[in-house]
């Protein structure tokens, strides 16, 4: 068992859009024998980009899980999207992975979405190796990317390979540990490679860089340090061992290079995955709590004999088998037909079938063991982020956090026949994707869908049409504004109703304060001495949170407000939960009106790449969009502008940028923060509602 776990790697391939993640995955599958031919993104025949929309657009939308075998190791690979609108797919994959291959392009280096996924990997403490792809492209510069990894990501890159040749003359790599060159004889898929002596023109550089590699490792490996200072010969096994330890401890990032499209560098990358990335035995045991409100800390080791514990990280609707729940098994084992426990909802779930997934293909298996990633059919009460466990040994793992949607639009069925189908489709899509939300607006009688960007919502509407056969009409995208306050107030509110029989009485005093961005609505109970019975406190909090769903300026959700309940009174006969819920709601609304309420808007971090000839025009356009330039840089004669621009000003920007730069400019953006809307803009927003 321990041998099986020792030879298991659960890895993800992450990167910025167009860095070559899917192509790298395709080559990995081919060289490991998992597929008999390698697909290409441009031809629309890749294994992991199996959705029609992915093949048409040449982008990855949903993370796909595949398995491969390499040198006695089973490698479970999740190919994740690079587009910022689908960041949630990366987030939930990283939550359950043990290691990551970060792909960068040798031309563009560390791009904005690379930084985002790197921060996500930092959050979950996931060890990484880096693969610098597209070494055959004009402008490729491996060592510039190494510098980028240091400067932009704050990581410690460890160069374990250097390229042989560059751009169209790239033909292989020098392995600095083995001190040999690996040279491919051609670009074709089955190209053989030869292990030869290091070319004469690279011997000096390779020698210097090997010394640098050993010096870096000696910084945190005492045995290596002793051998190095004593000027002893350091054997390769000691170097591999030190690199593995440093990678797993998140101290270094081994850097490799190649060209996945030209079939060069993939086999050494697979060797590096096996040598440097952790098995389930190398990572700390998972921790959780006994109950949803805390309780004793529980620990589960990666072992079949431990009580079962797993985390659902993804839900998918499959037209053939229904709802698929992707699960990472952390400990114990499960078998088809058995029962597991959902401790959050206090319900038992029956496992109908267990499937080993290979993108959209599936294979029935009888059991899943510690360390496995598989899909379950038959769950009724469990969604994304749910812990499943053994009913006799409950454990709740840390909850998965997802960003709030930043863009909304109205949607309605095209025909009466589409009406019922649309509701079912939206429910299933929202169940799959935690960053996609659906709500009904009572004021306008419209269904409002919200997501992470225009492309995100566009894909949702397209999926409704293709997968659920629902034709829908959509309105213009709307920005997800929020409301907050700028000053503190104390508010006293009473809800009193006197009718025949029992009346209603609820009386609360609250202090309402603004808090830092991103804190949402905080409720604090400071009641002492039982001036309000404790059974009414949850009702007051519910009233406050309900009231916060629609603010007082434009009816947008309120956020970043702390409400402290410190006083009040009750009536022996007339007080009830409903009365205190109403009093809490009134106190929040009335207090918010007095606390200088303002509207907040989402601001995007935008990176624009433009030829220097158009720099002035692009900056002028950014200023006209209320944008702020953070910094400008240069890479290979291309000017790079980092700016903060309100989302409301970014609709249709792709067309404008193409026009300004004669089709040569590109941009990427991701949500960064919420900020106060200028008064003149706020008046327009409220006036347009």
- How confident is the model over 277-304, as pLDDT tens digits? 999 999 888 888 877 666 778 888 888 8
DSSP state of 477: -
Q: What's the whole-number mean pLDDT along residues 516-520?
A: 87
Please report the pLDDT score of residue 584 as a whole number. Answer: 94
195 or 418: whose pLDDT is higher?
A: 195
- Residue 287's contacts (CB-CB under 8 Å, 6 or more residues apart) are 297, 298, 299, 397, 398
pLDDT band at 228 (very low <50, low <70, confident <90, very high): confident
Which DSSP helix (H) or strand (E) runs through 587? helix 577-594
Reply yes or no on whether the pLDDT at 364 is more than 80.
yes
pLDDT tens-digit map of 622-633: 999 999 999 998
- Lowest mean pLDDT across 60-69, 245-254, 399-408: 60-69
- Name the most confidently modeled range: 12-21, 513-522, 587-596: 587-596
In the prediction, which pLDDT does 361 show? 65
Go through 373-402 and write b for each residue having 16 or more CB atoms within 10 A of its CB, e for each that does not: bbbbbbbeebbbbbbbbbeebbbbbeebeb
C-alpha neighbours within 13 Å on the C-beta side of residue 212: 15
Domain 407-477 has CATH 3.30.530.20: no
Q: How confident is the model at residue 61 (pLDDT cuts 50, 70, 90)?
A: very low
pLDDT band of residue 35 (cuts 50, 70, 90) is low
| The predicted structure's pLDDT at residue 73 | 87
Nearest to 135 by CA among 46, 19, 16, 13: 19
Angstrom distance (rounded) from CA 622 to CA 437: 30
pLDDT at 47: 41
- For the chain, the domains span 2-276, 286-397, 407-477, 483-595, 600-688
Looking at residue 230, what is its pLDDT? 76
What are phi and psi for residue 632, nearest 5 degrees? -125, 145
Given a cut of 50, is residue 55 above it in pLDDT?
no
pLDDT of 130 above 90: yes
Beta strand 99-105 with 128-133: parallel, antiparallel or unpaired? parallel
Whole-number pLDDT of residue 147: 93
Spatial CA neighbour of 271 closest among 193, 336, 343: 193
pLDDT tens by residue, 602-660: 998 888 888 888 899 999 999 999 999 999 988 767 888 999 999 889 887 877 888 88
Q: How far apart are CA 370 and CA 129, in angstroms?
A: 24
What is the mean predicted confidence (pLDDT) over 353-370?
78
Q: How confident is the model at residue 34 (pLDDT cuts 50, 70, 90)?
A: low
* pLDDT (0 to 100) of residue 53: 46
Q: Give the mean pLDDT of the chain.
A: 84
Mean per-residue pLDDT for 348-368?
A: 80
| Least confident segment among 1-5, 189-193, 393-397, 456-460 | 1-5
Condensed to tens digits (0 to 9), the pLDDT of residues 158-185 reads 999 999 988 889 999 999 999 999 998 8
Q: What is the pLDDT of residue 41?
A: 42
pLDDT at 580: 94
What confidence score (pLDDT) does residue 2 get?
A: 57
Which class would CATH give 483-595?
A: alpha beta
Residue 15: pLDDT band by 50, 70, 90 thresholds? Answer: confident
Share of the chain above pLDDT 90, in %: 35
Nearest to 481 by CA among 653, 669, 651, 686: 686
pLDDT of residue 109: 87
Judge whether residue 51 has pLDDT over 70: no
Would the pLDDT of 391 be above 90? Answer: no
Distance between CA atoms of 196 and 256, rounded to whole angstroms? 18
pLDDT, position 309: 92
pLDDT band at residue 443 using 50, 70 and 90 as cut-offs = low
- Domain 2-276 and domain 286-397 have a common topology: no
Q: How confident is the model at residue 430 (pLDDT cuts 50, 70, 90)?
A: confident
Taking only Cα atoms into account, the Rg of the chain, rounded to an integer number of angstroms, comes to 28
Give the pLDDT of residue 294.
64
Mean pLDDT of 112-130: 85
Q: What's the predicted TM-score (pTM) here?
A: 0.71
**Is the CATH number of domain 600-688 3.40.50.2300?**
no
pLDDT for res 231: 75
Task: Give dist(CA 475, CA 441) in Å, integer.
Answer: 14
pLDDT > 70: percent of the chain: 91
Band (pLDDT 50/70/90 cuts) for residue 3 is low
H-helix segments, 65-195: 87-96, 112-123, 142-153
- Give the pLDDT mean for 108-128: 84
Q: State residue 561's pLDDT score.
A: 95
Write down the pLDDT at residue 83.
Answer: 55
Q: What is the pLDDT of residue 500?
A: 62
CATH 3.40.50.2300 assigned to domain 286-397? The reply is no
Pairing of strands 472-474, 157-159: unpaired
Name the band, by pLDDT with cuts 50, 70 and 90, for residue 439. Answer: confident
Structure tokens at 155: 């990581």
| Position 358 pLDDT exceeds 90 | no
* Contact call for residues 274 and 71 (beta carbons, < 8 A): yes
Element (H, E) at 355: strand 353-358
| CATH architecture designation of domain 2-276 | 3-Layer(aba) Sandwich (3.40)
Higher pLDDT, 22 or 215: 215
Question: Would you place residue 377 in the very low, low, confident or very high pLDDT band (cuts 50, 70, 90)?
Answer: confident
């Amino acid at each position: 068992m321990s041998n099986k776990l020792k030879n298991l790697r659960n890895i993800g391939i992450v990167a910025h859009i167009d860095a070559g993640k899917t192509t790298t995955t395709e080559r990995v599958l081919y060289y490991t024998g998992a597929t008999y031919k390698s697909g290409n993104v441009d031809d629309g025949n890749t294994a992991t980009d199996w959705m029609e929309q992915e093949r048409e657009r040449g982008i990855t939308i949903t993370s796909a899980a595949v398995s491969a075998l390499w040198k006695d190791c089973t490698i479970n690979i999740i190919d994740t999207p690079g587009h910022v609108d689908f960041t949630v797919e990366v987030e939930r994959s990283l939550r359950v992975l043990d290691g990551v291959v970060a792909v960068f392009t040798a031309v563009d280096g560390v791009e904005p979405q690379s930084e985002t996924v790197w921060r996500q990997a930092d959050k979950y403490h996931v060890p990484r190796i880096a693969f610098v792809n597209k070494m055959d492209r004009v402008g490729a510069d491996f060592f510039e990317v190494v510098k980028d990894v240091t400067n932009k990501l704050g990581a410690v890159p460890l160069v374990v390979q250097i390229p042989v040749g560059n751009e169209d003359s790239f033909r292989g790599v020098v392995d600095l540990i083995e001190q040999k060159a690996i040279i491919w004889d051609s670009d074709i898929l089955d190209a053989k490679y030869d292990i030869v002596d290091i070319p004469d023109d690279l011997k000096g550089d390779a020698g210097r860089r090997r010394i640098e590699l050993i010096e870096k490792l000696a910084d945190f490996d005492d045995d290596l340090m002793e051998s190095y200072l004593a000027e002893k010969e350091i054997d390769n096994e000691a170097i591999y061992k030190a690199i593995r330890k440093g990678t797993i401890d998140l101290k270094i990032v081994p850097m490799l290079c190649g060209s996945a499209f030209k079939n060069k560098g993939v086999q050494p990358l697979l060797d590096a995955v096996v040598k440097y990335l952790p098995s389930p035995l190398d990572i700390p045991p998972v921790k959780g709590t006994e109950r949803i409100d805390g309780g004793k800390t529980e620990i589960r080791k990666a072992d079949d004999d431990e009580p079962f514990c797993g985390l659902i990280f993804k839900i998918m609707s499959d037209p053939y088998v229904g709802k698929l729940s992707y699960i990472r098994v952390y400990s114990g084992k499960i078998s088809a037909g058995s029962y597991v426990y959902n401790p959050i909802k206090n319900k038992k779930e029956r496992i109908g079938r267990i499937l080993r997934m290979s993108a959209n293909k599936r294979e029935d298996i009888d059991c899943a063991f510690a360390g496995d990633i598989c899909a379950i059919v038959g769950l009724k009460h469990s969604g994304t982020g749910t812990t499943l466990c053994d009913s006799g040994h409950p454990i709740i793992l840390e909850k998965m956090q997802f960003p709030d949607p930043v863009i909304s639009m109205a949607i309605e069925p095209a025909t009466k026949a589409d009406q019922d189908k649309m509701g079912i489709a939206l429910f299933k899509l929202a169940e799959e994707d935690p960053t996609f939300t659906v709500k009904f607006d009572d004021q306008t009688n419209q269904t409002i869908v919200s997501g992470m960007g225009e492309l995100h919502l566009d894909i949702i509407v397209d999926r409704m049409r293709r997968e659920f056969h629902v034709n829908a009409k959509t309105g213009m995208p709307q920005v997800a504004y929020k409301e907050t306050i700028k000053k503190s107030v104390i508010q006293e509110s009473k809800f009193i109703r006197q009718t025949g029989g029992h009346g209603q009485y609820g009386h609360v005093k609250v202090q309402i304060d603004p808090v830092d961005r991103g804190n949402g609505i905080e409720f604090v109970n400071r009641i002492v001495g039982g001036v309000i019975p404790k059974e009414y406190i949850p009702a007051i909090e519910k009233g406050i949170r309900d009231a916060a769903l629609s603010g007082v300026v434009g009816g947008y959700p309120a956020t970043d407000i702390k409400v402290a309940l410190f006083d009040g009174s009750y009536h022996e006969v007339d007080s009830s939960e409903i009365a205190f819920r109403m009093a809490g709601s009134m106190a929040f609304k009335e207090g918010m009106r007095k606390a200088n309420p303002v509207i907040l808007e989402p601001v995007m971090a935008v990176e624009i790449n433009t030829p220097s000839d158009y720099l002035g025009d692009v900056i002028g356009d950014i200023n006209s969009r209320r944008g702020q330039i953070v910094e400008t840089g240069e890479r290979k004669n291309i000017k790079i502008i980092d700016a903060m621009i309100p989302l409301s000003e970014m609709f249709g920007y792709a067309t404008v940028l193409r026009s300004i730069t004669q089709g040569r400019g590109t941009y990427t953006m991701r949500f960064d923060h919420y900020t106060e809307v200028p008064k003149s803009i706020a008046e327009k927003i409220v006036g347009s509602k």
